[in-house]
Amino acid sequence: MMRSLEAIAARKRDDIQMIRSPRLWPQRYLRLKTQPWAAGADGKSRFGRMEQDDQLSVYPDDGEPMLFDSLEQLTEVWGVD
């Protein structure tokens, strides 16, 4: 099923709002997973985490850390789990 651009934009806005509100995080890090539209060729989601003091880096469970220039860029690939 194709997601509407409005639904994608709303999800990214919600993710950015949560990332910018670390007081709402359940722990000192935030669990992330790949956005539905950014799943790999096999269709499987990847998981990772973000630390409160570095909200532009993602530490995937299965790879090297990824650094992004902005939350908008980060939420193209990663969302709050």
56-81 pLDDT tens trace: 999 999 989 999 999 999 999 999 98
Does the pLDDT of residue 2 top 70, yes or no? no
Picking from 79, 19, 29, 69, the residue whose alpha carbon sits closest to that of residue 49 is 29
Flag the least confident range among 1-10, 32-41, 67-76. Answer: 1-10
Q: The tokens of 73 are what?
A: 């860029």
Q: Which of 39, 61, 40, 38 is nearest to 49 (CA)?
A: 61
Which is more confidently placed, 58 or 3?
58
What mean pLDDT is predicted for residues 27-40?
Answer: 90
In DSSP terms, 80 is beta-bridged to 32
